[in-house]
Amino acid sequence: MRKPLLTAIALSSALLFTTVGEETTASAATVTYKVKSGDTLSKIGSKYHISYKTIMKLNHMKSTKIYVGQKLKVKKTKAKKKATKKVSKSVAGVSTSSNGSKALAIALKQQGIKYVFGGSSKSGFDCSGLIYYAYKKAGYSVSRTNAQGFYARSSATKSPRIGDLVFFKNTYKTGISHIGIYMGNSKFVSASGTKVQVSSVNESYWKKHFAGYRHL
């Protein structure tokens, strides 16, 4: 068992797996720019996030030639961010599978729910109960078993993907005894200590008991 750790996404979150992206919309207002030594239309355009062709059009220019002190109309773009949901395909260069990332996203939503030995619902989870709940919700055909059972029905991998399983041994009993879902960047989410939380395989305790990565 471990003490509660500060959650991170990573993803850590991190993180993760279903992530929040940003779609930028723009509103523009025309302002005047005074040409300085070394300026070009492209250079000026980059400052205002517009193309040199836009500057030419605003100023009715037929040539890209400009001179120091010349006043040009430019569009000052003000970005507005609109949140959109999208599925992340990778985290820090680590590949992911659709169902695995879904399972991880579901598990992360359970953070803070108390640890209950034998639990596999929002009333409380143990480590294998969290895996069963998350993977089943993600569309996997799984049956309720313990960490050893998941270990036996999964395949070893040295290149873990987001949503794969991470195993630990000799924690509270001999042999495979703890399981979590891999997030990338050495992070994983599991029911440990007193609640569902994010941890790192590089922490001294988990590093000492690390038993490998596997996927269903």
Among residues 49, 68, 84, the one where a domain terminates is 84
pLDDT tens string 86-120: 433 434 444 445 578 899 999 999 999 999 999 99
Confidence grade of residue 49 (pLDDT, cut at 50, 70, 90):
confident
Among residues 69, 84, 99, the one where a domain terminates is 84
pLDDT at 87: 37
How many residues does this entry show for the chain? 216
For 18-27, what is the mean pLDDT? 37
pLDDT at 98: 59
Confidence grade of residue 170 (pLDDT, cut at 50, 70, 90):
very high
Confidence grade of residue 44 (pLDDT, cut at 50, 70, 90):
confident
For 111-138, what is the mean pLDDT? 96
Q: Which residues contact 104 (CB under 8 A, 6 or more apart)?
A: 16, 17, 134, 162, 163, 181, 182, 183, 189
Q: Can you read off the two tokens belonging to residue 141?
A: 């055909």
In a domain, 4, yes or no: no
pLDDT at 158: 92
Dihedral of alpha carbons 150, 136, 124, 15, sign: positive
Choice between 1 and 65, residue whose per-residue pLDDT is larger: 65
pLDDT more than 70, % of the chain: 76
pLDDT at 190 over 60: yes
In a domain, 92, yes or no: yes
Residues 173, 101: one domain? yes
Closest to 176 in 3D by CA, of 135, 213, 136, 134: 213
Choice between 160 and 87, residue whose per-residue pLDDT is larger: 160
DSSP assigned state of 179: E
- For residue 50, with 0-12 CB atoms within 10 Å meaning exposed, 13-18 middle and 19 or more buried, which class applies? buried
For 10-30, what is the mean pLDDT? 42
For 45-73, what is the mean pLDDT? 86
User: pTM, whole model, 2 decimals?
Assistant: 0.57
pLDDT at 21: 36
Confidence grade of residue 84 (pLDDT, cut at 50, 70, 90):
very low
Residues 104, 138: one domain? yes
pLDDT at 6 over 70: no
Identify the domain containing residue 173 by its residue range: 10-18+87-215
Among residues 84, 105, 125, the one where a domain terminates is 84
- How many domains does the chain contain in total? 2
Choice between 106 and 82, residue whose per-residue pLDDT is larger: 106
Q: Are 163 and 17 in contact (CB under 8 A)?
A: yes
Residues 56, 93: one domain? no
For 37-42, what is the mean pLDDT? 86
pLDDT at 11 over 60: no
